[in-house]
């Protein structure tokens, strides 16, 4: 269900931020997050965009052996996913563990290889859905779910109990969560999977 931004009443929600950057870059052929885009590493675009954002804590999830000293991670806590081969869900789990009791109203999840996501996008999701219960929310473009993704805190215990590489959206398919979305653009679904993607205009 798509939703228009509107003024909401109620308490001011507080969300933690997870940037997932533990992927193995198998399709890219090398560590894509270090590859330059417009003069700086791909991941740095995401870090710089969200460094001064309203979210707290801000967790950067990397993998064992990742050279995070190549990036300016000031303002972010770094959490290491020791089983990145298990997929995105293992990175989300790593991030949730790092957040601990600081979850607040929920989490905002985004990917380190999506350089055109804006902090305002995440703030728009919070404005629209931050006071909802048992809700997963994101942007949608041409029927495709995009990022960032908002997950309310009351869903996190259910997610933690899931087994294997099962994403948060599994809770929606099981009827345990409601899915809401805002109308998105190409940049909300665009990620860098191949070297030529670095040259694409979005």
- Residue pair 57/37 in contact (Cβ under 8 Å)? The answer is no
* CA-based radius of gyration for the chain: 16
- The pLDDT of residue 28 is 40
> Would you say residue 27 lies in a domain?
yes
pLDDT band at 29 (very low <50, low <70, confident <90, very high): very low
> Would you say residue 8 lies in a domain?
no
Q: Which two tokens stand for residue 78?
A: 């770094």
Tell me the DSSP string of 134-182: SEEEEEEETTEEEEEEEEEGGGHHHHHT--SS--THHHHHTTSSEEEEE
| Parent domain of 70 | 15-192
> Would you say residue 78 lies in a domain?
yes
Q: Is residue 196 predicted with pLDDT exceeding 70?
A: no
From residue 4, alpha-carbon distances to 10, 98, 127 in Å are 18, 33, 11
Of the candidates 123, 174, 173, 171, the residue with the CA atom closest to the CA atom of residue 148: 123
> Would you say residue 20 lies in a domain?
yes
> Would you say residue 103 lies in a domain?
yes
> Would you say residue 9 lies in a domain?
no
> Would you say residue 37 lies in a domain?
yes
Q: Is residue 8 predicted with pLDDT exceeding 50?
A: no
pLDDT band at 200 (very low <50, low <70, confident <90, very high): low
> Would you say residue 10 lies in a domain?
no
pLDDT band at 182 (very low <50, low <70, confident <90, very high): very high
Sole residue written with tokens 């728009």: 124
Neighbours of 116 (CB within 10 A): 16
For range 65-91, the mean pLDDT? 89
Domain count, the chain: 1
Higher pLDDT, 48 or 194: 48
| Average pLDDT of the chain to the nearest whole number | 86
- The pLDDT of residue 3 is 52
β-sheet bridge partners, residue 79:
61
Q: Is residue 38 predicted with pLDDT exceeding 80?
A: yes
**Dihedral sign from CA coordinates of 69, 70, 76, 79:** negative
- Residue pair 126/113 in contact (Cβ under 8 Å)? The answer is no
Angular region, 25: left φ>0, alpha ψ -120 to 50, beta rest: left
State the CATH number of the domain containing residue 164. 3.90.550.10
């Amino acid at each position: 269900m798509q939703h228009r931004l509107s003024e909401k009443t109620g308490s001011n929600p507080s969300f933690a931020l997870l940037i997932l950057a533990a992927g193995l870059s198998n399709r890219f052929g090398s560590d894509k997050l270090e590859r330059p885009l417009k003069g700086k590493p791909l991941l740095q675009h995401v870090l710089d965009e969200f460094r001064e954002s309203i979210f707290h804590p801000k967790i950067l999830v990397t993998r064992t052996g990742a050279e995070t000293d190549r990036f300016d991670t000031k303002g972010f806590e770094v959490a290491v996913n020791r089983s990145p081969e298990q997929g995105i869900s293992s990175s989300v789990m790593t991030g949730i563990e790092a957040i601990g009791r600081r979850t607040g109203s929920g989490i905002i999840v985004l990917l380190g290889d999506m350089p055109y996501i804006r902090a305002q996008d995440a703030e728009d999701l919070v404005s629209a859905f931050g006071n909802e219960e048992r809700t997963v929310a994101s942007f949608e473009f041409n029927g495709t779910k995009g990022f960032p993704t908002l997950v309310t805190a009351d869903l996190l215990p259910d997610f933690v109990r899931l087994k294997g590489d099962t994403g948060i959206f599994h809770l929606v398919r099981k009827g345990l969560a409601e899915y809401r979305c805002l109308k998105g653009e190409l940049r909300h679904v665009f990620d860098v999977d191949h070297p030529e993607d670095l040259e694409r205009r979005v």
